[in-house]
């Protein structure tokens, strides 16, 4: 007697919707995130952006580190690589360098990106490797059950700061601008329409694009980065902001009390791939046999 094998993690309703073409780019795996987590809006945002841009599934890769956010590749129907804690960017850089035709999207959390993986961001930005980095900032370590992270607010009480976090948070936007990022934007999981447009714009940029996504962890932070607080704090990028003006972008990044949503900065300059092509051409010219 044969026993019917039912695939695990398959949600039949989701499969129906996906096969009808309405939710192309969603995988059959149902997200394992807590109900209400901001990350649901990000997975929807990426799948909408992929639809809008008609990205070929077999030419697109999503690379993550470790964290609740880094489970992301399971939930999209694209090539995926769930790597090691903090190592999404080196792996994404390697993938893009090996096959320049791929669209490569790195994803991860504030702990993954700015604690253990913090050393990699500067190099990806300065090299201008042509990948997109979606950073899900919930100001806490979600997966390991609520420890203080590099972007936790002063005063946040967590399991590792039982007398409230005394440290000032990093300012990721200001850091990226000083590292030489060529596209920088900010979005909020509570504004899904704006978020999906920002994801598409970040992917469309040629060079290293960094999208900072503010997102509540509804399970381990009940006081700081909540939907209510963030909803009251966020604002549009002021009208008249010139996204080619680095100093104006830096000034905007300093206002962390009222985080601005939109495009902070962009710049056109050669990518890492362009630089390698140019070096290869020079090397070929140097070693070419002389013709007379």
Ligand X SMILES: Cc1ncc(C[n+]2csc(CCOP(=O)(O)OP(=O)(O)O)c2C)c(N)n1
112: partner contacted, choices ligand SF4, ligand X, Mg ion, none (Cβ within 5-8 A by kind): ligand X
221 counts as binding Mg ion under rule CB under 5 A: no
> What gap in Å lies between CA 60 and CA 58, rounded to an integer?
6
85: partner contacted, choices ligand X, ligand SF4, Mg ion, none (Cβ within 5-8 A by kind): ligand X
Closer of 67 and 207 to ligand X (Cβ)? 67
Least distance to ligand X, CB of residue 151, Å: 8
Alpha carbon 194 to its chain centroid, in Å, reads 15
Residues 182-221 that bind ligand SF4 (CB under 6 A): 217-220
**240: CB partners within 8 A, 6+ apart:** none
Axis-axis angle for helices 118-127, 88-98 (nearest 10): 30
Cα separations (Å) of 81 from 75, 99, 141, 222? Answer: 12, 15, 21, 31
Among the candidate windows 9-17, 107-115, 196-204, 245-253, which touches Mg ion by CB under 5 A? 107-115
For 267, the token pair is 């710049």
65 counts as binding ligand SF4 under rule CB under 6 A: no
User: Beta 260-266 vs 183-188: how paired, if at all?
Assistant: antiparallel
Do residues 96 and 150 lie in contact, with contact meaning Cβ atoms separated by under 8 Å?
Answer: no
**Element (H or E) spanning 204, and its range?**
helix 192-204
66: partner contacted, choices ligand X, Mg ion, ligand SF4, none (Cβ within 5-8 A by kind): ligand X
> What gap in Å lies between CA 26 and CA 48, rounded to an integer?
10
144: partner contacted, choices ligand SF4, Mg ion, ligand X, none (Cβ within 5-8 A by kind): ligand X
**Which one among 142, 172, 185, 262 touches ligand SF4, defined by CB under 6 A?**
142
Q: How many helices (H) and strands (E) does the chain have?
A: 10, 8
Least distance to ligand X, CB of residue 168, Å: 17
Binding residues vs ligand X (CB under 6 A): 66-69, 85, 108-112, 116, 136, 138, 140-144, 149
Size of the site for ligand SF4 (CB under 6 A): 11
39 counts as binding ligand SF4 under rule CB under 6 A: yes
The binding site for ligand SF4 (CB under 6 A) comprises 33-34, 37, 39, 68, 138, 142, 217-220
């Amino acid at each position: 007697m044969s026993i019917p094998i039912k695939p695990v993690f398959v949600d039949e309703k989701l499969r129906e919707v996906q096969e009808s073409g309405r939710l192309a780019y969603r995988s059959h795996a149902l997200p394992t995130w807590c109900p209400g987590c901001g990350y649901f809006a990000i997975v929807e945002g990426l799948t909408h952006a992929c639809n809008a841009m008609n990205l070929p599934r077999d030419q697109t890769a999503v690379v993550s580190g470790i964290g609740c956010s880094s489970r992301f590749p399971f939930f999209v129907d694209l090539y995926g690589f769930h790597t090691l804690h903090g190592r999404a960017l080196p792996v994404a850089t390697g993938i893009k360098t090996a096959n320049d035709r791929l669209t490569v999207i790195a994803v991860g959390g504030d702990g993954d990106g700015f604690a253990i993986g913090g050393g990699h961001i500067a190099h990806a930005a300065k090299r201008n490797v042509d990948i997109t980095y979606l950073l899900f900032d919930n100001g806490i370590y979600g997966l390991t059950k609520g420890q203080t992270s590099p972007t936790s607010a002063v005063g946040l009480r967590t399991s590792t700061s039982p007398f409230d976090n005394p440290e000032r948070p990093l300012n990721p936007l200001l850091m990226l601008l000083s590292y030489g990022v060529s596209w920088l934007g900010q979005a909020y999981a509570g504004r899904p329409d704006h978020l999906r447009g920002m994801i598409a714009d970040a992917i469309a940029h040629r060079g290293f694009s960094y999208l900072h996504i503010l997102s509540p962890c509804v399970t381990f932070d009940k006081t700081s980065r909540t939907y209510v607080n963030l909803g009251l704090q966020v604002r549009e990028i002021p009208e008249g902001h010139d996204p080619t003006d680095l100093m104006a972008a830096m000034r905007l990044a300093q206002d962390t009390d009222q985080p601005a949503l939109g495009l902070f900065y962009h710049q056109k300059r050669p990518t890492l791939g362009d630089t390698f092509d140019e070096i290869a051409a020079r090397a070929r010219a140097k070693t070419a046999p002389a013709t007379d």
